[in-house]
Structure 1
Amino acid sequence: MDQKNSRRSFLRQASLTTAALGTAPYLLSASTNKVQLLHREYSFDQYGSNDHINIALIGTGIQGIYDTQAALMVDGVKIVAACDLYTGRLDRAKELWGNDIFVTRDYREILSRKDIDVVLIATPDHWHQTITVAALKAGKHVYCEKPMVQNFNQGQEIIKAQKDSGKICQIGSQGMASLGNEKAKELYEDGAIGDIVMLDMYNDRYSAEGAWQYPIPTDANNNTVDFDTFLGNAPKVPFDNNRFFRWRNYQDYGTGVAGDLFVHAFSTLNYVISSDGPNRAMATGGLRYWKDGRDVPDVSITLYDYPKTETHSPFNAAFRINFIAGSGGGGGFKLIGTEGEMEIGQNSVTVNRSNLGLEPSGYSMISFTEGMQAEIRKEYAAKKLNTRASKLATGSTTWQAPRDYKGAHYDHFYNFFTSIRENGKVIQDPKFGLRAAGAALLANESYTRKQPVNWDPTKMKLI
């Protein structure tokens, strides 16, 4: 991508008059804020019962249920089985999807069934690689929740298994296929913010639920929970309901805030700017409030370096998570460039462009005589630094999803199932998934080592 030509293209379109709004989708005005609707075409074919894609859910917890509900919104998809290690969730699966679905506590029974085309894997992170590889080898298409892996060295086996099987594998950062991401990528490539210099991402939470203190069912015990299977290859410990139902709080099973939250941001960032990811990370943080037995921080700040590539200039990224944000909570994702900034959400994108102050103001002129100030102003005026085109290209424009938009989660599954039916490409394949997970996991590596860490984004390996 030629960034200079892209910026000229953007400025040319942005300098058009408001009468051309319908044919200039990137128009920005200095005097008013513009709002434009996003749009996407879907193909809604009619599918008979014999044409349904039969899915099974492995891991019927919070995210697994939300994933399945989103998947079932797509035409021609039917759930036939569910798996979980807590019997109460199998009862819940029947409540949600009917008493005729097959339920089990053994995921291998799911993979052996011939009537299942697709498995949704929403287990704790330490089981992702094992079940994903087994499912691909069993001839199933796979939707695996993010982060794709718990450890750096697990990703290559998934990439190989997907390639060898020929099956579709989509990684589940559910906002990836959103209208917001799609428009942000288009705007960035058209030069809307110039050269990127910084990313600012934050996620503040102020609730026990937001800090992963999930409720524990009253009937949870050694009979209703298969705790030994849950542990898998993790260190053996006595039965502990907290570890099973709040597994995100423990390094043995999860990946902390980096794997749960950073990875979404990296998926969006790498997609929008067509990047393989950062090459350096430096993290800090600590356990400041939720001292409930967890061994991962509840406040985390990580700085990343992105190298120069054909699609972006070198830049820095700041990722911040706070699980005890007394401000009440909130979040943001903002790309900051040399000529503007872009705030990206799943349902909207806002581009803000301002005039760059190239001429001196009274602050820096105060030490000169009135005569010298006049000479300096004359000199700067002759340079014509503030052009009419640059002034017209300022202001704020928001691209907003329509009210009937089915949402990013739906779009991610629509992309997945369409790829299966048409033998196409998913937006987040295992290579993409490893690059996003690897970048996120650098935060944990740096935090543990208490020093910066280096990463090869092309080979996807620690240096």
Structure 2
Amino acid sequence: MTKNNSRRSFIKQASLTSAALSTTPFLLAAPKHQTELLQRAYSFQKFGVNDQINIALIGTGIQGIYDTQAALQVDGIKIVAACDLYTGRLDRAKELWGQNIFVTRDYREILNRKDIDAVLIATPDHWHQTITVAALKAGKHVYCEKPMVQNFNEGQEIIKAQKDSGKICQIGSQGMSSLGNEKAKELYEDGAIGDIVMLDMYNDRYSAEGAWQYPIPTDANFKTIDFETFLGSAPKVPFDNNRFFRWRNYQDYGTGVAGDLFVHAFSTLNYVINSDGPNRALATGGLRYWKDGRDVPDVSISLYDYPKTETHAPFNAAFRINFIAGSGGGGGFKLIGTEGEMEIGQNSVTINRSKLGMEPSGYSMISFTEDMQAKIRKEYAAKELNTRASSLATGTTTWKAQRNYKGAHYDHFFNFFTSIRTNGKIIQDPKFGLRAAGAALLANESYSRKQPVDWDPTEMKLL
């Protein structure tokens, strides 16, 4: 798909629209530190009881609760059931959503209920595929938290189950439907940064919580936790509160920093530039500080190669995660192109452009005589090197969401529920989810093998 066709398709299919004008005037009008507002126009309807979408949450942990709170902000949505393997979280579900809510430690009881239209799956990663496939086969619409799969070979079964069921399946990288992503896509397709040559992504953290050392409740024991079910297909080990409440720290249940953080970046990147993803990865890193029994690194650096396609030039991507960043923490996501750079956030996009220096300066001229310097300057002047890249407006332009913006998480659920009601197009279907998860998992594969690994982004297969 060409950039122009991609843009027309995007505008036609989007279920959410932003009040955004063409970016071309901003590229040529030489704005200096200019700020423009982004707005979201929602199409609201009144929903009666018969039009209500009933949801259930499977996995009532941190992300599951945040997902549900975002989902319930959308009109016409009601939560009727929750599932978790720790009884304390079922008590929390009743605190949050009412004593009448149905709770269970067996997700199959959720899928058997006829009054549930859609399920939110926010379990540990190693349960995503099993429950997602079962839910689709049970006739439920599915919102599955990222990463969609823990292993490369699990994705095709989800894709098939969704196709066979005809149900909506949205993958939950919560920033995907943001105003920032939407504007960045428009800017990129309008040529705001020229040809992309590099992506720079980093996430620095400096807290125990940020490094997944989540609190463990005082009543956690083999009676309040169904640990055997939690293990699922993972290797059998003795009861361990750390493994249950801090599962991200273990390869048996999670996907490390790649599955937790890279996958968000790949979702945004692939969406903005309309790409299937990278075809090669090389990763390194190590366990530098949080030596608490975990078997995944807390410092990770991964390099990716993106091949040339109809929508982008070949480029490289650098992903860096540091869970012991003495600087105090922070993050960034920046596309760097031949004509500028674009920094993307959920609520804003900033374009920076500088004049491309094409003529020699005093640094390289110093070794020549004054007479020769004059001749060289005359020669360069005759070449008329004022290309589009060098004549573009310089400076900084920021597009920022208004203060009343409902946020990316809301937008992702708005897209999900609107698609259920209209049988419309979602923004992150299972194929998209597998390409984002697959790209992220390449880092784990390369780290484990201690060598580069290759991936077919079109067929979504490890080579």
Place the TM-score, normalised by the shorter chain, in its bin: over 0.9
After superposition, the C-alpha distances for 1:193-233 in whole angstroms (9 at most, x for unaligned) are 00000000000000000000000000000110000000001
Most deviating of 200-209 and 388-397: 388-397
CA shift in 2, pair 1:57/1:391, >3 Å:
same
Is 1:58 matched with 2:20? no
- SS of 2:120 mapped into structure 1: strand
- In the alignment, structure 1 segments of 5+ residues that lack a partner are 7-20
Return the alpha-carbon distance in structure 2 between the equivalents of residues 124 and 428 of structure 1.
Answer: 20
Return the alpha-carbon distance in structure 1 between the equivalents of residues 415 and 332 of structure 2.
Answer: 25
Most deviating of 318-327 and 27-36: 27-36
Partner of 1:277: 277
- The two structures have a TM-score, normalised by structure 2, of 0.95
Q: 2:356·2:389 contact (CA, 8 Å) conserved in 1? A: no
Partner of 1:309: 309
CA shift in 2, pair 1:31/1:233, >3 Å:
closer
Return the alpha-carbon distance in structure 1 between the equivalents of residues 451 and 439 of structure 2.
Answer: 16
Is 1:27 matched with 2:31? no
Deviation at 1:58, TM superposition (A): 0.1
After superposition, the C-alpha distances for 1:247-294 in whole angstroms (9 at most, x for unaligned) are 000000000000000000000000000000000000000000000000
Partner of 2:357: 357
Return the alpha-carbon distance in structure 2 between the equivalents of residues 140 and 23 of structure 1.
Answer: 39
Is 1:43 matched with 2:43? yes
Q: 1:85·1:226 contact (CA, 8 Å) conserved in 2? A: yes
Q: 1:3·1:194 contact (CA, 8 Å) conserved in 2? A: no
Paired residue type of 1:209: E
Return the alpha-carbon distance in structure 2 between the equivalents of residues 188 and 366 of structure 1.
Answer: 39
Deviation at 1:394, TM superposition (A): 1.5
Overall identity of the aligned pairs, in %: 87
Is 1:330 matched with 2:330? yes
Q: 2:288·2:298 contact (CA, 8 Å) conserved in 1? A: yes
After superposition, the C-alpha distances for 1:36-55 in whole angstroms (9 at most, x for unaligned) are 01122101101112211000
Return the alpha-carbon distance in structure 2 between the equivalents of residues 392 and 437 of structure 1.
Answer: 37
- SS of 1:27 mapped into structure 2: helix
Paired residue type of 2:283: A
Return the alpha-carbon distance in structure 2 between the equivalents of residues 22 and 310 of structure 1.
Answer: 24
After superposition, the C-alpha distances for 1:320-344 in whole angstroms (9 at most, x for unaligned) are 0000000000000000001110000
**Displaced runs of 4 or more, over 2 A:** 1-6, 21-26, 28-31, 386-392
After superposition, the C-alpha distances for 1:354-376 in whole angstroms (9 at most, x for unaligned) are 11110000000001110111111
What are the residue-to-residue correspondences of 1:21-420 with 2, within 5 Å? 26-28=25-27, 30=30, 32-386=32-386, 390-420=390-420
Please tell me the root mean square deviation across aligned C-alpha atoms, in Å: 1.7
Paired residue type of 2:63: Q
Return the alpha-carbon distance in structure 1 between the equivalents of residues 228 and 380 of structure 2.
Answer: 74
Return the alpha-carbon distance in structure 2 between the equivalents of residues 271 and 391 of structure 1.
Answer: 29
Most deviating of 37-46 and 219-228: 37-46
Question: Aligned residues, how many?
Answer: 449
Return the alpha-carbon distance in structure 1 between the equivalents of residues 110 and 307 of structure 2.
Answer: 43
Q: 2:23·2:187 contact (CA, 8 Å) conserved in 1? A: no
Q: 2:352·2:395 contact (CA, 8 Å) conserved in 1? A: yes
Return the alpha-carbon distance in structure 1 between the equivalents of residues 425 and 136 of structure 2.
Answer: 16
Deviation at 1:386, TM superposition (A): 3.0
After superposition, the C-alpha distances for 1:57-100 in whole angstroms (9 at most, x for unaligned) are 00000000000000000000000000000000000000000001
- SS of 1:405 mapped into structure 2: coil
Partner of 1:15: none
CA shift in 2, pair 1:199/1:384, >3 Å:
same
Q: 2:298·2:322 contact (CA, 8 Å) conserved in 1? A: yes
Deviation at 1:383, TM superposition (A): 1.8
What are the residue-to-residue correspondences of 1:404-443 with 2, within 5 Å? 404-443=404-443
Return the alpha-carbon distance in structure 1 between the equivalents of residues 438 and 21 of structure 2.
Answer: 42
Q: 1:54·1:80 contact (CA, 8 Å) conserved in 2? A: yes
Paired residue type of 2:344: I
Return the alpha-carbon distance in structure 2 between the equivalents of residues 398 and 262 of structure 1.
Answer: 25
- In the alignment, structure 2 segments of 5+ residues that lack a partner are 7-19
Paired residue type of 1:90: L
Deviation at 1:124, TM superposition (A): 0.1
After superposition, the C-alpha distances for 1:230-252 in whole angstroms (9 at most, x for unaligned) are 00010000000000000000000
